Structure 1
Amino acid sequence: MRNYGLQFSLTGLLLYALQLLPNIIWMLVPPTNNVLTGNSSAYKTLNIIEGLFGVLTVILMVVLINKGEGNNSNFYIRLAVLFLAAYYISWVFYYNGVVAPWLLILGIACMPPLYFFFVGLWMKNYVLLVPCAIFGITHILITCMNYLRP
């Protein structure tokens, strides 16, 4: 923790805003078949864990800076961009009426945590990885519980 400091990161905020863009559009102009409005768990504890660790992930991305030396790996940011692109493409499919479970789980639920995870690696913000993983697991679990029913 010696290499970390609390400081506002414009880069972290911009990278978060890129992920948030489809959600803002979704709130302002919902699609016709908007099945994601009900994507919360019947178990309040899972909703709390998902929300808490999602917010913690974003806060750590925006205000916790690794002051250690060394270059950021372009490999990690390229993977993050790949996951963000897949997320955007998934939203395009969703807006075009594709609401298949594979799209909701793989495209819309899995991509944001993977994006945040690789942004964290790129920023060398290793503290962010633990809450991000917990957020990702609960986010995907809730989506699976809602859309993989027989």
Structure 2
Amino acid sequence: MNLSFNFSMAGFLLVLLPMLPNVLYFIFSEKFGSETSPNSHRTLDMIEHGAQFIFIGLLIFFEPINQPVISMSLVSIIALFLIFYYLLWGLLFLGRKTLTILLAMSIVPVIYFILGAILLRNFLAIIPMIIFLIFHVLITYFNYKSSKPLHL
């Protein structure tokens, strides 16, 4: 795992592409019914964001010393995960906010990032991705459950 500190355009694009629907959601969040609630899981958020910051930094600022041979089949699989993620965002934009869709939206991009890290031979980035995945799924679940009224 010989990585050098260097800007990786491929890593930058890998990070940028799944962020595009997030920008739309941020701009139009009121239209899509984004609710804000008091943060009851600050520690989980800190771990999640810390792991995210680390894996994004590793993808963008580190690349293998020897450039890997690009596997077009792996690129195709990565593209399919990205398309699937965009479709999930489309469902969310259409008002389909179910736990299944939200959990898929927290899992699918991490699979995309892990496959991208494998493609770029940046295996070190996978460790914080897995940590991010665990906490991202937990936070998604807790947020969904806290937004639903309790029926006793």
Q: TM-score scaled to structure 2, two decimals?
A: 0.86
Paired amino acid for 1:129:
I
SS in 2 for 1:65: strand
Query: Are the counterparts in 1 of residues 68 and 121 from structure 2 also a CA contact under 8 Å?
Result: no
Distance 1:111 1:59, change over 3 A: same
C-alpha distance in structure 1 between counterparts of 2:144 and 2:76, whole Å = 30
* Aligned partners of 1:72 and 1:124 also within 8 Å: no
Q: Identify the residue that residue 119 of structure 2 maps to in structure 1.
A: 122
Q: How does 1:1-150 map to 2 (within 5 A)?
A: 1=1, 3-30=2-29, 32-35=31-34, 37-38=35-36, 42-68=40-66, 70-106=68-104, 108-148=105-145
Structure 1 pair 84–69 and aligned structure 2 pair: CA distance change class (3 A): closer
Task: Tell me: CA distance 1:40–1:136, structure 2 relative to 1, closer, same or farther (3 Å).
Answer: farther
Look up the SS of the partner of 1:22 in the other structure: helix
Give the partner amino acid of 1:20: M
- Residue 148 of structure 1, CA deviation: 4.8
Cα distance change of structure 1 residues 4 and 142 upon mapping to structure 2, 3 Å threshold: same
CA distance in 1 between partners of 2:89 and 2:127 (Å)? 26
**Runs of 4+ residues deviating >3 angstroms:** 37-41
Are the equivalent residues in 2 in contact too, given 1:40–1:47 (CA < 8 A)?
no
Q: Deviations over 1:82-121 (max 9, x none)?
A: 1111110011111111001101111x11112111111100
Seen in structure 2, the aligned counterparts of structure 1 residues 115 and 31 have a Cα distance that, compared at 3 Å, is farther
- Structure showing greater radius of gyration is 2
User: In the alignment, residue 140 of structure 2 is paired with which amino acid?
Assistant: T
The amino acid that maps onto 2:137 is I
Q: Which amino acid in the other structure matches residue 8 of structure 2?
A: S
Gaps of 5+ in 2: none
Q: Which moved more, 1:60-69 or 1:87-96?
A: 60-69
Aligned Cα RMSD in Å?
2.1
Compute the displacement of 1:39 (Å): 8.1
What is the total number of aligned residue pairs between the two structures? 147
Q: What TM-score comes out, normalization by structure 1 length?
A: 0.87
